[in-house]
Amino acid sequence: MKTVSYLETDTLGFYGDFGGAYVPELLRENVENLDRAFRSYCFTESFERDFTSLLNDYVGRPTPLYLAKRFSEKFGCPVYFKREDLCHTGAHKINNTIGQILLAKHMGKTDIVAETGAGQHGVATATVCALMGLNCIVYMGEKDIERQAPNVQRMKMLGAKVVPATSGSKTLKDATNEAIRHWINHTDAYYLIGSVVGPHPYPEMVAYFQSVISKEIGDQLIAKTGNRNPTKVIACVGGGSNAAGAFYHYYDQPEVELIAVEAAGLGIHSGKSAATSVLGSPGVLHGSFTLLMQDLGGQVIEPHSISAGLDYPGIGPLHAHTISTGRTKSFAVTDEEALEAALECSRLEGIIPALESAHALAVLHQIALTPNDCVIINLSGRGDKDMNTYQSEIQLQTDES
Amino acid sequence: MNPFYKTLKQVSIFTQAGFPKLESLSDQLINLQESGVDFIEIGIPFSDPMADGPVIQHTSSIALENGMTLDLLFRQLTKVRDQITVPLVLMGYLNPVLQFGLGNFLGKCQELNIASLILPDLSYELYSARYAKVFQAYDVPLTFLITPATDDERVKKIATACRESFVYLVGQTSITGNGYLIDEAKQARYRELKALCGKTPLFLGFGIDSPQKRDQGFQECDGVIIGTAYLKSLAEGTSETFLENTIGLPTLIPPQKHR
Ligand SMILES: Cc1ncc(COP(=O)(O)O)c(C=O)c1O
């Protein structure tokens, strides 16, 4: 795999100004061991073979690149959906958990710990732990346990222990704190992080495992259109793993516009938002120097999004770097716009998207498109887990109108 | 002169600025000094204290709810500063410090004669590569953490970097407030670490919750740092007894072994 400049980190793990491993000495050995194992194992033929075969036969890759005809008509240019929603367990998250579980096994680990927001990463982790016969503990914010109940049940059925995170905003940020604390207390556990966040080498590693998405997009697009490059790639950003995967091979193709979509919640400046790249400033959270939502005193602000997977006050350092250098453009979509886009996608294409992915779809209404455009939307997940929210929120809106 | 260097064993207490009340800090500093502590660590509250257990998570969030900020902390310290003669250490996660402005922060620390800073999520490597110049401009010494697992070469480097302050030994790899057993195997490693630190004082912390543990800590290290157990007693209103029992009298301290 060719390394491109935007994806390069320095020896301390910085993408430009962002990244690094801001961890207490207590985690130092863990992080160093992880880095060593990642570099010595994940670029070998044996890893490649096992990773690819699991992605193909177990996850169901390659996922289709689908030309969404009615969307294309509506927006006046070809719009393709990269169907990560068709992955086993219903989201892109499993690409990463397959990669990391192989690494964990290679390192001789038997206990896996993870955090989860929407529950998709928790399910994907519980799944690969079951597959490999490893113990699994998932920390999940108490608030998320409520709003993503089906995923909690799935994790339990798969044999994972789900532990509620009861501190702070009781969402993804706090689940991440708890998972890190667990890792400090159990240094022999493997921490299977769910996005391109956390201390180096996690952001680099997760982006690498997710890069299968853009690799496939290139191959599929050239087969369909004769051209490897679209004009725009659009993905939602919570921590940023599906976006990093969808953008990966396009970072050094300047003619491809990269569009990251964040959750504006009730509105960017409503005080109830998760639009990190607009509201955020540089700071340190969860082991890396990145953009994060914080007050003037450096206390992290509790974000809000209707979508549990985007309800995070930071973004991965790769995104902080590419957004602040202008390579990636960021947009923000409100709860309401996301709900409308979810309904639109369901009615026009017969696909119920995850609330997170609905944010990516909604941005089509915000950007200027011409017939010469060729747009890829990374449809990161399916909407099964969000049916409760859809039912109550969309019902409410039709009642009102 | 390194203010943390003494021939007698030392006890340090970690307290949380803004806990239990917004204005508690001054009285606590005076009280701790009177009860005989050798130096005091003042915790800067942070919303996401990833290396802390439930007690310090709680005191930290109460302090924030009370309205504690670095700005206010410095104002409170300025008022009480001339009444405090024991060394003062500030301890906190890096983010609030960065937002205050590292230069501003260090300037304030220098002005207030802060004896050392502990910023647990700033590693020795990051410090050396990215921040050392600023720190050196203000001449406020840093204290780095080590654990029993820290390799010998690193311990030596860290001890050299901390030669004007001390090295903080986290006695077992765990978050704060997990009292752990100090067995012979641990003592043996602490002994090695003490030797590797050379002249730089070495203090043991993160799990000292009883006079017995304190005495065990005294065996190999230059002293102990108590945080969670003290804050717990503070929350329960039993801090006076706790301090009496824990700080004890220097004459009761067992003679040094293995030196
Ligand atoms: C379907 C889906 N999309 C996106 C995300 C956001 O994560 P990331 O930004 O890492 O892709 C999640 C997280 O749970 C998710 O479940």
Determine, yes or no, domain membership for B91. yes
> Which token pair is A92?
């892109």
Give the model's pLDDT for residue A78. Answer: 98
Q: How far apart are CA B252 and CA B246, in angstroms?
A: 11
Report the atom number in ligand 1 closest to the C-alpha of A355.
1
The CATH number of residue B99's host domain is: 3.20.20.70
* Distance (Å, whole) CA A231 – CA B237: 65
| pLDDT value, residue B258 | 45
In chain B, the residue whose alpha carbon lies closest to the alpha carbon of A12 is: B126
Cβ within 8 Å, pair A185-B120? no
* A287 contacts on B by Cβ (under 8 Å): 50, 121
Instruction: For residue A116, report the distance from its CA to the centre of ligand 1, in Å.
Output: 10
CA distance B252 to chain A (A): 33
- The whole-number pLDDT of residue A4 equals 54
In a domain, B4, yes or no: no
The domains located in chain A, with CATH, are 21-55+93-206 (3.40.50.1100), 60-90+211-400 (3.40.50.1100)
Give me the pLDDT at residue A5, please: 81
How is the beta sheet containing A328-334 ordered, strand by strand? A65-67, A79-83, A375-379, A232-236, A257-265, A328-334
Can you give the pLDDT at residue B1?
A: 85
Q: Whose CA is nearest to atom 10 of ligand 1?
A: A241
For residue A124, which phi and psi values (nearest 5 degrees)? Answer: -65, -35
Mutational test site, ligand 1, from A310, A379, A389, max ligand atoms within 8 Å of CB: A310
Q: Count of alpha carbons within 13 Å of A184, Cβ hemisphere only? A: 29
Q: How many domains does chain B have?
A: 1
Q: Is the peptide bond before B20 cis (omega within 30 degrees of 0)?
A: yes
Q: Do the chains contact at B47 and A299, CB–CB below 8 Å?
A: yes
Whether residue B196 is contained in a domain is answered as yes
Q: What is the domain extent for residue B131?
A: 10-258
pLDDT along chain B (259 residues), means of 10: 94 97 97 96 97 95 97 98 98 98 98 98 96 94 97 98 97 91 96 98 94 95 96 94 81 45
Residue A310 is predicted with a pLDDT of 94
Active site residue B151: no
Q: Are strands A232-236 and A257-265 parallel, antiparallel or unpaired?
A: parallel
Query: Do strands A79-83 and A65-67 pair parallel, antiparallel, or not at all (unpaired)?
Result: antiparallel
**What pLDDT shows up at residue B248?**
67
Mean pLDDT per 10-residue section of chain A, whose length is 401 residues: 76 97 97 98 98 98 98 98 98 98 98 95 98 98 89 97 90 94 96 98 98 98 97 98 98 97 97 95 98 97 92 96 98 98 98 98 98 98 94 72 47
Cβ atoms B233, B227 nearer than 8 A: no
10 Å CB burial of residue B153 (0-12, 13-18, 19+) is exposed
Q: For position B237, what pLDDT does the model report?
A: 94
Q: Is B183 helix (H, G, I), strand (E, B) or coil?
A: coil
Q: What are phi and psi of A79, to 5 degrees?
A: -120, 120
**Residue A395: its pLDDT value, please?**
73
CA of A238 to the centre of ligand 1 (A): 6
The reply to whether B238 falls in a domain is yes
Supply the pLDDT for residue A401.
Answer: 47
- B106 CA distance to ligand 1 middle (Å): 39
Which of A9, A25, A174, A291 is the best mutation test for B, with the most CBs of B within 10 A?
A25
Contact B51 A181 (CB under 8 A): yes
CA–CA separation, A297 and B135 (whole Å): 20
Question: Hey, what are B179's tokens?
Answer: 């009292």
Contacts of B144 in chain A (CB under 8 A): 25
| Structural domain contains residue B104 | yes
Query: One of B23, B27, B48, B52 is an active-site residue; which one?
Result: B52
The tokens for A1 are 């795999």
What residues line ligand 1, using a CB cutoff of 6 Å?
A 91, 93, 117-118, 120-121, 195, 236-243, 309-310, 354, 356-357, 380-381
